[in-house]
Amino acid sequence: MNVPGVTTLEGEPMGGWIQYSMGQTVASWLSHHFYLHWKYTMDTDFLENRAYPWIKDVAVFLDEISVKEENGNRKLLISSSPEIYNNSREAWFAETTNFDLALIRWTYEKAAELANELGLKEEAEHWDQILSEWPEFDVDAESGLTFTPGVPYVESHRHFSHLMAFHPLGLIDISKGESDKKIIENTLRNLEKIGPYYWCGYSYSWEGNLYARAFEGEKAAEALRIFASCFCLKNSFHANGDQCKAGHSTMTYRPFTLEGNFAFASAIQEMLIQSHTGVVKIFPAIPSGWKDVSFNKLRTYGAFLISVKMENGVISAVEIIAEKGGKLVLENPFAEQEFKTGFNFEKNEKNLVFETKPGDVIKLAKK
């Protein structure tokens, strides 16, 4: 289960920098994709035969390679935070980094969740117990999430690996209250303070995702505009360096890397719709200038396909297709405005709650 971070199509290691050649939590990062496939499709066969078996094996692997300290907390004997300190010896730390810790804590949280989904109560309790033995994230009171204890983010760097707990894993999220909100805001303000001098293009597209999760639509859009305008060639390929030479980065080289484009697409969807908290939010992070916006059949947790139309700054229509049925919790997209629907629902504070069957279609429209 010690999956190399850079592999051939056949799964053979290709080498590269040491964090990727021997990243102990790469299998956990892959687990996130197994989990997302389950949450977006609600395919119970995939859950039982692919997602949970993979995540369970990763949980066993992490259990075997971790050690317990005298205080009862677990740790890795050696830990990294890609791509901090590049390919040097300093890239490895004696304390577990926030990067590795995020992936580890996420693995045990989701292993317990999926075990409960499958009715495996004892296994779920076992994963919860191991989760309780891992420490919380290291946070600086002023600059937010650090790389590892004693190593805050104090110099510009292209890779935000220390922010995995915030995005994409969602272990730290504004929905969880003021404490998490403060960590997120301090972290983002610190990124702005240090500056983008040594960022790559994918730093900007990743930043777009970070701002979207923080509901800062103006800044999300600006980050994506910089990425598209200055870090992509005319054929749309991401070229890593600042092709505009406009001061967005001190790096102006042009190696092609594809992950920046994928992160851009992800950020656009995070701006348009979010569901990772269990509540579907429509247009959670769009700029105020986006007055006429629509999307068709974007997929959310729970296997719901949602289409929305906004005209002149007002949402006029929402359509929801329930592929697998179940409960849908939707933050009221019409806010204080009246709307009509032929589908039964309950109101829970500012949310609308629908109980659906497979194939149900819910239509809501502004009155």
For the residues of 96-157, what is the DSSP string, one character each?
Answer: PPHHHHHHHHHHHHHHHHHHHHTT-HHHHHHHHHHHHTSPPPPEETTTEE-SBTTB---S--
Would you give the DSSP letter of residue 164? T
Q: Can you list the residues of the chain whose pLDDT is less than 70?
A: none
Contacts of 184-189 with CB under 8 Å at 24 or more apart are 184/144, 184/213, 184/214, 185/144, 185/214, 186/140, 186/141, 186/142, 186/143, 186/144, 187/143, 187/144, 187/145, 187/153, 187/163, 188/144, 188/214, 188/216, 189/144
Count of domains for the chain? 2
| 322 residue type, one letter | A
Among residues 175, 195, 215, the one where a domain terminates is 195
Please give the DSSP secondary-structure letter assigned to residue 238.
B
For residue 128, the Cα-to-chain-centroid distance in whole angstroms is: 22
Asked whether the beta carbons of 184 and 144 are under 8 A apart, the reply is yes
185 shares its domain with 312: no
Check whether residue 54 and residue 191 sit in a common domain.
Answer: yes
Same domain as 165, residue 40: yes
Domain that holds residue 56: 18-195
According to DSSP, the residues that pair with 305 across neighbouring strands are 299, 321
Contacts of 346 (CB under 8 A, 6+ apart): 352, 353
176 and 305 together in one domain: no
Looking at the structure, do residues 319 and 189 belong to the same domain, yes or no?
A: no
User: Residue 12 domain-assigned?
Assistant: no
304-327: b (≥16 Cβ within 10 Å) or e: bebebbbeeeebbbbbbbbbebbe
Q: Are residues 45 and 170 in the same domain?
A: yes
Asked whether residue 29 falls in the same domain as residue 147, the answer is: yes
CATH number of domain containing 341 = 2.60.40.1180
State which of 150, 165, 195 marks the end of a domain. Answer: 195
Whether residues 299 and 191 share a domain: the answer is: no
Does 358 reside within a domain? yes
pLDDT in tens, 270-316: 999 999 999 999 999 999 999 999 999 999 999 999 999 999 999 99
Q: Are residues 170 and 298 in the same domain?
A: no
The Cβ of residue 273 has, within 10 Å, a number of other Cβ atoms equal to 18
Q: Which residue has the tokens 């049925």?
A: 325
Strand ranges (DSSP E) for 216-313? 273-274, 281-282, 293-300, 304-311
Residues 186 and 310 in one domain: no
- Tell whether 297 is covered by a domain: yes
- Same-domain check for residues 178 and 44: yes
Residue 224 lies in a domain: no
Is 190 contained in some domain?
Answer: yes
- Answer whether residue 306 is part of any domain: yes
Q: Give per-residue pLDDT as tens, 336-355.
A: 899 999 999 999 989 999 99
In a domain, 38, yes or no: yes
Q: What is the largest CA-CA distance in the chain?
A: 64
pLDDT at 258: 87
Would the pTM count as exceeding 0.75? yes
Instruction: Let me know: does 145 contact 153? Beta carbons within 8 Å.
Output: yes
Contact 252, 240 (CB under 8 A): no
Closest CA to 202 of 233, 241, 234, 165: 241
In whole angstroms, how far apart are CA 208 and each of 71, 122, 226?
A: 39, 40, 10
Q: Does 297 share its domain with 191?
A: no
> Does residue 334 fall inside a structural domain?
yes
State which of 195, 225, 254 marks the end of a domain.
195
- Which pLDDT belongs to residue 80? 93
